Amino acid sequence: MIKTQNPLVRFVVDYFSRPNKNRFEIVDVLRGLAVVQMMIFHFCFLLKEFRIAFLDFSYNANWAAFRIVIVTMFLSLVGVSLKIAWERGLKRKSYYRRLAQLFFYGLALSLTTYIIAPSRTVIFGILQFIFVASILGLVFVRLVWVNLILGTVIIWLGFNYANPIFNQAGLWWIGMVTRGPVTLDYVPLFPWFGLVLIGIFIGHFVVHKPQLAPIKSWHAKDFVSQTLALTGRHSLTLYMAHVPIFFVFIYLFMT
């Protein structure tokens, strides 16, 4: 516990320190870490867009690898979370509310990018992907080893096979294109749905294996991990809010 005499800081620390027994906090922490990395990526991207920093997001392998790490963390955790929710008795109301949020946030993102950057409109980005994957994942949520095998195959196909037939706009969401769409964000089913399936596979062992009980009972105790856990619990809201905030901040800084 962090010792402090400041009442505001003490309140925040005490609030963060309350363990949530109904959640796997390790999953929240990992998701929060992915959110922080995503914020760093988007902040740097906006610096490039405003021409404050000359960063090469198109051809620099380091930025491409950083994006892959972020997306991998997010999407594998989608599978883990879906499996945990299923094993605990999927609450339909919460599930449908989450789907509705993903749908309308995805629609809002597409409309916003169409207005701001019509030549790079987001058609099937990460929000649209998670919406579709959250529905398709229910088909596979009862399976175990099949998910590992099928997920590996989907990832391999997504990175190693392409066909011009998938270049049609109506099929972009599948992937395996020979010429990808010009867009600010593109996350097709191939290869990325493979990560969701592998996440479901991992989630099965997290829930059922007694050896992994410490992971289920783990709770964040230090300020950093507690902050990451809170960030992970509100990842969708932060995803929608952080880019406009960064945009306004950079714009005011420039003016």
* pLDDT above 70 (res 42): yes
Beta strands in the chain (DSSP E): none
Structure tokens at 100: 């509705």
Both 117 and 43 in one domain: the answer is no
**77: nearest Cα among 185, 217, 201, 173:** 201
Residue 75 counted as domain residue: no
Peptide bond into 191 cis (omega under 30): yes
Residue 100 counted as domain residue: yes
Both 196 and 185 in one domain: the answer is yes
pLDDT number for residue 6: 62
Both 203 and 236 in one domain: the answer is no
pLDDT number for residue 188: 96
Both 22 and 135 in one domain: the answer is no
- The pLDDT tens digits of the residues spanning 162-214 come to 999 999 999 999 999 999 899 999 999 999 999 999 999 999 998 887 777 77
Q: Which domain holds residue 33?
A: 1-55+219-255
- The pLDDT tens digits of the residues spanning 74-132 come to 999 999 999 999 998 999 999 999 999 999 999 999 999 999 999 999 999 999 999 99
Both 228 and 206 in one domain: the answer is no
Lowest mean pLDDT, pick from 6-15, 98-107, 147-156, 230-239: 6-15
What is the average per-residue pLDDT within 229-244?
Answer: 93
Tokens 């490039």, residue located: 48
Residue 71 counted as domain residue: no
Number of domains in the chain: 2
Residue 146 counted as domain residue: yes
Residue 64 counted as domain residue: no
pLDDT number for residue 12: 53
**Whole-number Cα distances in Å, 199 to 7, 118, 129, 186, 223:** 41, 34, 15, 20, 27
The better pLDDT of the pair 21, 134 is held by 134
- Band of residue 22 on the pLDDT scale cut at 50, 70, 90: low
Both 102 and 213 in one domain: the answer is yes
pLDDT number for residue 255: 77
Both 192 and 240 in one domain: the answer is no
pLDDT number for residue 129: 97
**182: nearest Cα among 123, 110, 106:** 123
Mean pLDDT computed over every residue of the chain: 90
- For 78-103, give one letter per residue: b (16+ CB within 10 A) or e: bbbbbbbbbeeeeeeeebeebeeebe
Both 100 and 165 in one domain: the answer is yes
Both 223 and 108 in one domain: the answer is no
- Cα separation, 130 vs 189, in Å, equals 10
Both 20 and 5 in one domain: the answer is yes
Residue 44 counted as domain residue: yes
